[in-house]
Structure 1
Amino acid sequence: MNKRIKLNNKEKGVLLLEGIGTFLLFQLINVILVITSNVFFGNNQRTNFFRLIQTDSSRAGFWQVWFFFCLVLVLEIFISFHVVMKTFRQFEVEKVERELAKIADGDLNQQLHLEVNPRLQGIVNSINSLISNTNNHIAEQRRSEKSKDELITNVSHDIRTPLTSIIGYLGLIESKNYEDLDQILKYTHVAYKKSLEMQNLVNDLFEYTNVQHANSTLSMTKFDMAQMLDQLSADFELEANKRGMEIVVNTSPEKILMTGDTDKLGRVFNNLIMNAFKYGDGATHLWLEAKQTPQEVVVRVANNGKPIPKESLDHLFDRFYRVEDSRSKETGGTGLGLAIAQSMVKMHGGQISVESNNDRTAFIIHFPTIKQKNSEE
């Protein structure tokens, strides 16, 4: 909340002297003018000031003289007040300058919480807005730097683990520390698997940084969401059968026309389906559902496997986040799949969320259709 500027005793004294001094100066000028007029027109009945004000009120010119006298007095008071206010505004400017000097020294944590005259208030508000925007920009830069540091740390950690295994097993072969060809094949097989882990991490990292880039664009085409889900069901049917799962597709209506980047949306659903395969322990069904309303298209990818712990729900879309480290190591997940899916959904103007209970774990995507219609027009 802004507060009025409070003057110290010295400043109050300056204002008082300014007002009284200016008013007395005007009175001195008045006296000089009256004396001067009497000197030059001493015997003139019409111009002698003292005779006019001492004359009977019925006499012509009496009221005119007093009216003029009062008008001059009011004008003098007004000018004296204006001089005082001008000095007060100068004090306001000096106060603002002192506060700005503190900010200029690097103290950007404070703003100018001052209530000043309307003309100067606009400048104060603009300065506060500039300070606020600067602080937001600095905070965003710090978050970005912290995010980059975390990204480098996580990538280094995730690359170092398989790389250590690769170097170790290839080192055994290089030093001829093996018994027969079967052992060589075993070492190379492990090195190959670890190389694939590194390749997956690099590919996911590249894709994540690409969708996060400001210049990342979408190749928009018109497609049928229901048909896309049917195609996904067919693509993953074999993998689902291996895991003892059945894929069920439900759409309403049967044909849902949308506009989007089918390659990126395909990657979103691939990530969600693979996520269900890897972490949906005990699941027997995988549901791919889509429903169209006048405002949006809602797509759900759900399974009836083991629920996600409540404490993990808010972090699933964080980069490199894994619900359980042991399961992550077994499945080979990079922790970037859901972050990539979220970024791609946001590029389409949509939102993605997750719900998990003992019955189902569902990833829910909302795609706005009104915006898409406007873009088509």
Structure 2
Amino acid sequence: MIILCAALLLLLIFVSYRYYKIKKMVTADLPYITDKLDKIIENQSTERLLVMTEEKPLRELLVSINTLLDYHQEYIADGSRLRMSMNRMLSNVSHDLKTPLTVVLGYIETIQHDRHYTSEEREELLAKVNGKVIEVGNLISKFFDLARLESNDWPIEMQKINVNEVCRETILGYYDILNSKGFEVAIEIPEKDIFIHADRQALKRILENLLSNAIRYGKEGKVLGLALQQDENQVIIEVWDRGKGISEKNAHQIFERLYTLEDARSSSTEGSGLGLTIAKRLVERMNGSINFTSVPFKKTLFTVKFKS
């Protein structure tokens, strides 16, 4: 009987202790957690909830809350990065459209108000106007292409294609411009045919964008290369130049929408900054990868890889 009473007494003590601990949690810990959480959210703070407790359920709750806070902070950071990207994009869009349109208006005003031009000179000015209008049209077309890619509205028809043929066809399309700009061209395309499953037009567009980029920013080096190779697992396409390259501070932005090198806008061969973005999106749509390395005036290399 005495043993039974002792056992009941111990049980009562344990229940009382648990009751006290739970009461403390409810009356002290939970109000503190609620108040601290409200302040973290209100101030957009990076703080986390720290409560010393032996209660396993409360510890698990704190872990879950802190995980949600981490997700919340990442969501806020992503939103901030997106707003910055959009602001830069709008600024660049305005610049890229305004510049050629300003030139067009200048030519038109000259033609309208200056009566001293000969017919031949007027024809030359009109040809320049036409070139700028085409430039604006191409830019708008790129915007449209990027919008289609990001909304998954660009149809990709995966089929077996001959990569050698696409590479040769694309580089030949740039023969005249490379020749006129005095580029030395290094082409390494094997005689043995290499095949991958991809969209032919999309692959050609990728190569065109990479070659255009190499011509635009590699003009000081006067050398451009295109190489194709295959190993056991993948097909590798490389486009390289020996121009001014890409500095480390710009490397993380090179594939962003409408990003151009800082001094590109003072150049006579401005780029919209869309070409590399479109190339990256197309490569990813075809389950490939694209990356680059750059040593200014030595070698800037873009590498595209697809599974063989």
Q: TM-score range by the shorter chain?
A: 0.7 to 0.9
**SS of 1:113 mapped into structure 2:** coil
1:112 to 38, 49, 53: 49
> Does 1:204 pair with 2:161?
no
2:29 paired residue number? 92
2:292 paired residue number? 353
Cα displacement string for residues 17-40 of structure 1 (whole angstroms, at most 9, x for unaligned residues): xxxxxxxxxxxxxxxxxxxxxxxx
1:82 paired residue number? 18
Question: Offset at 1:270?
Answer: 0.8
Question: Rg: which structure is higher?
Answer: 1
Quote the Cα distance in structure 2 between the aligned partners of 1:268 and 1:299: 11
Q: Give, as a single letter, the amino acid of the residue that structure 1 aligns with 2:111.
A: I
Quote the Cα distance in structure 2 between the aligned partners of 1:111 and 1:268: 45
In the alignment, structure 1 segments of 5+ residues that lack a partner are 1-64, 370-377
When the two structures are superposed, what TM-score results if normalisation uses the length of structure 2? Answer: 0.83
Question: Offset at 1:323?
Answer: 6.0
**SS of 2:228 mapped into structure 1:** strand
**SS of 1:335 mapped into structure 2:** coil
Cα displacement string for residues 252-280 of structure 1 (whole angstroms, at most 9, x for unaligned residues): 68222211222122111112223333443
2:86 paired residue number? 148
Task: Describe how 1:182-201 pairs up with structure 2 within 5 A.
Answer: 182-201=120-139
Quote the Cα distance in structure 1 between the aligned partners of 2:68 and 2:153: 27
**SS of 1:367 mapped into structure 2:** strand
2:4 to 39, 60, 68: 68
Quote the Cα distance in structure 1 between the aligned partners of 2:190 and 2:24: 71
Of 241-250 and 228-237, the range deviating more from structure 2: 241-250
Structure number with higher relative contact order (C-alpha < 8 Å, ≥ 6 residues apart): 2
Kept in 2, the 8 Å contact 1:253–1:292? The answer is no
Question: Offset at 1:359?
Answer: 4.9
1:12 paired residue number? none
> Does 1:250 pair with 2:188?
yes
Cα displacement string for residues 78-105 of structure 1 (whole angstroms, at most 9, x for unaligned residues): 2322322232232322322222333464
Question: Offset at 1:151?
Answer: 0.9
In the alignment, structure 2 segments of 5+ residues that lack a partner are none
Quote the Cα distance in structure 2 between the aligned partners of 1:160 and 1:70: 91
Quote the Cα distance in structure 2 between the aligned partners of 1:100 and 1:129: 13
The alpha-carbon distance between structure 1 residues 156 and 362, as it changes in their structure 2 partners (threshold 3 A), is: same
**SS of 1:298 mapped into structure 2:** strand
Q: Give, as a single letter, the amino acid of the residue that structure 2 aligns with 1:351.
A: I
Task: Describe how 1:1-377 pairs up with structure 2 within 5 A.
Answer: 65-90=1-26, 91-103=28-40, 105=42, 107=44, 109-116=46-53, 117-175=55-113, 177-213=115-151, 216-245=154-183, 247-251=185-189, 254-281=192-219, 286-303=224-241, 305-308=242-245, 310=247, 314=251, 315-318=253-256, 319-322=258-261, 324-325=263-264, 329-349=267-287, 350-356=289-295, 359-369=298-308
Cα displacement string for residues 179-216 of structure 1 (whole angstroms, at most 9, x for unaligned residues): 44234324323322222222222222222333233555
Quote the Cα distance in structure 1 between the aligned partners of 2:100 and 2:231: 47
Q: Give, as a single letter, the amino acid of the residue that structure 1 aligns with 2:304.
A: I
Q: How much identity, in percent, do the aligned residues show?
A: 23
**SS of 2:219 mapped into structure 1:** coil
Quote the Cα distance in structure 2 between the aligned partners of 1:283 and 1:107: 49
Cα displacement string for residues 271-295 of structure 1 (whole angstroms, at most 9, x for unaligned residues): 2223333443365654321222233
Quote the Cα distance in structure 2 between the aligned partners of 1:316 and 1:190: 31
Q: Give, as a single letter, the amino acid of the residue that structure 2 aligns with 1:71.
A: A
Question: Offset at 1:300?
Answer: 0.9
Q: Give, as a single letter, the amino acid of the residue that structure 2 aligns with 1:250.
A: E
